[in-house]
Homo-oligomer: A and B are copies of this chain.
């Protein structure tokens, strides 16, 4: 543990100064959070003694049956998964805990996990906490390169492959349909666990929905992970994991031994939100909201960042991944000066395990107004330009 880097601590503590625009954390827009619906649901749950006490007592470590049913009926079919059983669903403490529980079950110190290059900082920190060695697989705009995956697999004998297929964090790319099929086939052929982490999938504002990798899984090697943070509320800390019952039984043991279960009231709210059709009613509004913000962010990056800056326009999600042109200051170093230009972001190096990424940054726009996005990108762009000789 002594060597466990505090990247995430620094990330969160970077947010304390109130006049700094925090483009670092991927907070969703307040406007995306269904506060009015939650007021109504909360009243309904707490006003009746029976449901009130149910909300406040212990319950099933696997998660409330109502919520597991709602996930199976309302969410998984949207990912190309039909006939899911509630017994194959485990409710977790946010999306992050799907990774933690999977590590408890499958990872011993020294095991290798193959990840995309680049990949989600916080996931890398989770894997490091379990003393796994992360090895990155080369990617193109369609996801992991299958040749490099096969080569790394043979070389490192990994216990797990970790993929973020939709609007990847941080690169913004989406794994193509063909590549999804190939990944499922690969996991089946090599009998290796593939962790499919898809928290942004519902935030698509361009292009067509794609079926999940899990939907092509024939032998139960794929664990599908998701979060309620972007479609309901991040503060409620809800996520879920969908896998074969054999895997769920081990995850269940790890869950009971680490923190018993997820808060019951929170699960009841989310279950009712799904069951009453509130999610379907609202998701279009949320997509339009982010489509607009993404347009504003893209325009302001083009306008203010130095020429030669590169970013891929994502088809969904809450952030842009920008690569600065040659001659700019290292982004880790730029971040140290954030109090001068009053903008925070995540420096690129934390998303790599091989020393790359010092010319990259991840910029989140989810919870800012048009004016804030424009002003923040303006100040940041000006600062970057001034560092360039």
Contact = CB atoms under 8 A, between A and B. Distances in A.
A353 to B, nearest CB: 15
Contact of A265 (B9, B97, B109, B236): B236
Given A4-B257, A56-B235, 4 more contacts: A8-B253, A39-B52, A58-B235, A59-B235
Contact of A57 (B59, B100, B129, B235): B235
Contacts of A35: 46, 49, 52-53, 56
Contacts of A126: 257-258
Contact of A233 (B49, B56, B97, B256): B56
A52 B35 CA distance: 7
Contacts of A252: 9
Contacts of A55: 235
Chain A interface residue number, banded: 35 or more
Interface in A204-221: none
A339 interface: no
A61 interface: yes
Given A57-B30, A58-B25, A261 B249 contact: no
Interface in A25-44: 25, 27-28, 30, 33, 35, 38-39, 42-43
A106 interface: yes
A1 B233 contact: no
Given A4-B253, A47-B39, A237-B259, A12 B93 contact: no
B57 A259 contact: no
Nearest to A254: B129
A55 B35 CA distance: 10
Interface of A: 1, 4, 6, 8-9, 12, 25, 27-28, 30, 33, 35, 38-39, 42-43, 46-47, 49, 52-61, 92-94, 96-97, 100, 104-106, 108-109, 122, 125-126, 128-129, 229, 233-237, 249-250, 252-254, 256-266, 367
Q: Which of A27, A249, A262 has the most CB of B within 10 A?
A: A262
The count of identical subunits is: 2
Contact of A259 (B100, B254, B256): B100
Contacts of A4: 250, 253-254, 257
Q: Is chain A's interface secondary structure helix, strand, loop, or mixed overall?
A: helix
Given A249-B9, A252-B9, A235 B263 contact: yes
A225 to B, nearest CB: 13
A30 B9 contact: no
B57 A46 contact: no
A55 to B, nearest CB: 6
A258 B98 CA distance: 9
Contacts of A128: 257
B264 A235 contact: yes
Contacts of A236: 56, 263-265
A33 B9 contact: no
Given A256-B8, A260-B96, A1 B105 contact: yes
Nearest to A4: B253
B129 A9 contact: no
